[in-house]
Chain A
């Protein structure tokens, strides 16, 4: 390896001016800081929870108090639950018309491009502001197909879908799973419920956007998606918040049920502000012949723990995971995935990339588990990490656990910096050093960028826009 001694490629941070606009906190109701049974009860009453849900919250609180903090992963020392406001209801009711959404909130979503995206290419949009959904709408033609896309609060009280929610709510991700999902069970609010009837193909995506505006607040939205047999859906999730000097917390929960031969694509671009603790839990149950695709971009937050999990329950179920993580100054992003092959002939393919710069820490963490009866499974994992300076860190912590012999499991990981040989080669073809480096970093991220929804791909390109300072030689 050659050390050219050139000045370092400089990769810009994302331009956060759009995200950092702070609205005045205009809440109709908020609980006190901290976490007590009184607060949990208060949330249940305020949200008019059915009794089973109120009891579920209190049970989850007990689990939360019992479970220890994670003994692995980035430090959570800066997170003090006594300082977090777990429920803050904006001063508006949910609407299906943007004109009925208060101006300050509407303007925020306008700046984020949500109403325009809805007009241009989405089937439906849900927009959550702090703890509650302020806007939810589904195109009529999609609605006519029997697709339900609504906020969780409405779904839980719906005579038809309420029992469905009760049957599935936190069954895939039980509160006992870990401390922060127990917290979610206790104080959750907002989020979306999606039901796609069997055989229905939702051709254009649905999108939920989560915006946390209040300082020192937590967002705990619950997303429950049920895709019926043979149906298909693309769901997009976006998250952002302005930066404050106090810690904010996001502990959402996503439960996805993918029916036989169904297809679900779940895309996320997470761009929380750098005071955010993002401790999110996502899980999919994939039935026979069904396929689950995850596309995940993690750019924001101070600390992230994020590992979407797929349980390949039925024969020939498939899962693909494509993810990119970009950690800059002050960020520790611990991301990855988990997959359980629980049935024969199941398949998983995982491809991740990470970029660490300016003192940022990226950790790729994963688990591939093949259960004893899951014969004839295939799994392939590829993770690549790019270090842009020597103040940053990049760790790769993958584990495979294989419990039968009739499998084909491959894993490869690479870590390094921009190759001098590659720069040399491109320069020998006539590119300047700056252009060569820009091309290599863009090329590194390209396989992921092309999987992202269009507007996020543009955002991603902005993100990795290069400013070259290197002098030749």
Chain B
């Protein structure tokens, strides 16, 4: 199936078209979508979490990738869960969802809906992997509903191979004092489109969003994060950190949107991007939209080469240049990878980066 996804990762307000950050139409060649086989997925759900096989009546939710990508998943999903964490429950074990693409199942289209009822707290770990050489296609839609005083921790790890295309689409809404704490690890795929939009609806609710990205060869990453502050005293923290090597490219859009009435809301956003090759391309669009006076919004970004003083220090401690650079890259990812609650997955992330870094000659130049 061939299709074109319209207006993927649109900025909440447009700017000059020639910058190429307003959002993009993405043509995609989609392999046959077959029901996801047992051997292509691991699903572990704690007993206290209720699973639904039918449709759960949840409100419409805006997502960052946009309606076209969301509608595609609604129409074609072949895996995913719909779960409710009952009020007051705090399962010790995370919900664990892992999808693996191979020749027999090259398309993963997962639709996930998670409702955390009042006072509950849950962690969801999702990972996407692929067999080497498979031309895989992943498109996911994850919708999070954090009730009053509820907390949802979501960790998404994308380690797809170089021949895959990835769409990760998250939409979230938070009620009074509810929170979503999201980690997105965007390390794989030839082309990856990731987005997260959170509507901070209830008073005192919050979003923590932390993404780490890694680009090498000619891979491209396209990201869009939106924190929409509707409620009073809402709080958002957006943090993006990444490394670009070889001829890779990335676009990172981060928007803090203070709607009128979001009194005493606070939004912070930071991006730290390390560049390792003269052929990389790094685009950043950090927006602050403000229709309310009584708020505090801040953004800071730095982009450039590795800090030479840092490098010099590490080398003076006996590391060669390559090892020192690897250490700096790994250290940059550490705050996010530490949030992965599964040892095996954490190891897989480290090994994935290690393997890729070993291939890169430009690092030692």
Interface residues of A (CB under 8 A from B): 1, 3, 71-72, 365, 367, 372, 375, 385, 387-390, 392-417
B279 contacts A3, CB within 8 Å? no
Contacts A/B (CB < 8 Å), 30 sampled: A1-B264, A71-B14, A71-B17, A72-B16, A372-B279, A387-B295, A388-B293, A390-B294, A393-B291, A395-B13, A395-B287, A397-B13, A397-B15, A398-B287, A399-B21, A399-B283, A400-B284, A400-B303, A402-B275, A404-B279, A405-B275, A405-B276, A406-B305, A407-B275, A407-B304, A409-B303, A411-B284, A411-B300, A416-B296, A417-B294
A405 contacts B290, CB within 8 Å? no
A387 to B294, CA, bound (A): 8
A3 to B263, CA, bound (A): 9
> Within 8 Å CB of A396, what residues of B?
286-290, 299
A406's partner among B15, B278, B282, B284 (CB-CB below 8 A) is B278
User: Smallest Cβ distance from B252 to chain A, in angstroms?
Assistant: 10
> Within 8 Å CB of A401, what residues of B?
19, 281-283
B305 contacts A397, CB within 8 Å? no
> Within 8 Å CB of A367, what residues of B?
15-16, 19
A204 to B284, CA, bound (A): 41
A402's partner among B21, B281, B296 (CB-CB below 8 A) is B281
B14 contacts A390, CB within 8 Å? no
- Asked if B301 is an interface residue, CB under 8 A from chain A, the answer is yes
A402 contacts B282, CB within 8 Å? yes
- Asked if B260 is an interface residue, CB under 8 A from chain A, the answer is yes
- Asked if B292 is an interface residue, CB under 8 A from chain A, the answer is yes
- Asked if B277 is an interface residue, CB under 8 A from chain A, the answer is yes
> Within 8 Å CB of B277, what residues of A?
405
A394 to B277, CA, bound (A): 37
User: Smallest Cβ distance from A410 to chain B, in angstroms?
Assistant: 5
> Within 8 Å CB of B304, what residues of A?
405, 407-409
> Within 8 Å CB of B14, what residues of A?
71-72
B303 contacts A399, CB within 8 Å? no
- Asked if B285 is an interface residue, CB under 8 A from chain A, the answer is yes
User: Smallest Cβ distance from B48 to chain A, in angstroms?
Assistant: 37
Most interface-central of A71, A402, A414 (chain B CB within 10 A): A402
Take A1-B266, A404-B280, A409-B303 as given contacts and tell me if A399 and B288 are in contact as well, using a CB distance cutoff of 8 Å.
Answer: no
**Beyond known contacts A3-B264, A404-B278, A407-B303: 17 more, CB 8 A cutoff:** A1-B296, A3-B263, A72-B15, A387-B293, A387-B295, A390-B292, A390-B293, A395-B13, A396-B289, A398-B287, A399-B284, A401-B282, A405-B278, A407-B275, A409-B301, A410-B303, A416-B297
A404 to B279, CA, bound (A): 6
A393 to B288, CA, bound (A): 11
- Asked if B298 is an interface residue, CB under 8 A from chain A, the answer is yes
A409's partner among B260, B298, B302 (CB-CB below 8 A) is B302
A397 contacts B302, CB within 8 Å? no
> Within 8 Å CB of A71, what residues of B?
14, 17
> Within 8 Å CB of B282, what residues of A?
400-402
Interface size on B, as a range, is 35 or more
Q: Is chain A's binding surface mostly helix, strand, loop or mixed? A: strand
What are the nearest 6 A-B pairs in CB distance? A405-B275, A72-B14, A415-B297, A387-B293, A409-B303, A390-B293
A399 to B271, CA, bound (A): 13
A402 contacts B266, CB within 8 Å? no
User: Smallest Cβ distance from B263 to chain A, in angstroms?
Assistant: 7
> Within 8 Å CB of B244, what residues of A?
405
> Within 8 Å CB of A402, what residues of B?
275, 280-283, 303
> Within 8 Å CB of A390, what residues of B?
260, 263, 291-294
Residue on B with the closest CB to A71?
B14
B15 contacts A1, CB within 8 Å? no
User: Smallest Cβ distance from A345 to chain B, in angstroms?
Assistant: 14
A367 to B303, CA, bound (A): 15
A389 to B263, CA, bound (A): 12
A395 to B285, CA, bound (A): 13
B260 contacts A405, CB within 8 Å? no
A400 contacts B16, CB within 8 Å? no
Residue on A with the closest CB to B298?
A414
A395 contacts B293, CB within 8 Å? no
Residue on A with the closest CB to B257?
A395
A411's partner among B15, B22, B275, B286 (CB-CB below 8 A) is B286
Most interface-central of A390, A392, A395, A397 (chain B CB within 10 A): A397
Residue on A with the closest CB to B244?
A405
A414 to B276, CA, bound (A): 29
A372 to B280, CA, bound (A): 9
B283's partner among A400, A408, A411 (CB-CB below 8 A) is A400
B293's partner among A72, A365, A392 (CB-CB below 8 A) is A392
Take A72-B13, A404-B278, A409-B304 as given contacts and tell me if A399 and B285 are in contact as well, using a CB distance cutoff of 8 Å.
Answer: yes
B278 contacts A372, CB within 8 Å? yes
> Within 8 Å CB of B279, what residues of A?
372, 404
A392 to B295, CA, bound (A): 13
A413 contacts B283, CB within 8 Å? no
A401 to B303, CA, bound (A): 10
Residue on A with the closest CB to B302?
A410
A405 contacts B264, CB within 8 Å? no
User: Smallest Cβ distance from B235 to chain A, in angstroms?
Assistant: 11
Beta-carbon contacts under 8 Å, B298-318 to A: 298-305
A441 to B281, CA, bound (A): 39
A385 to B293, CA, bound (A): 10
> Within 8 Å CB of A405, what residues of B?
244, 275-278, 280, 304-305
> Within 8 Å CB of A399, what residues of B?
15-16, 19, 21, 283-285
A394 to B260, CA, bound (A): 11
Most interface-central of A71, A393, A408, A416 (chain B CB within 10 A): A416
Residue on B with the closest CB to A363?
B13
> Within 8 Å CB of A416, what residues of B?
295-297
> Within 8 Å CB of A394, what residues of B?
290
> Within 8 Å CB of B21, what residues of A?
399
B 1-34 binary contact with A (CB < 8 Å = 1; else 0): 0000000000101111101011000000000000
A411 to B11, CA, bound (A): 19
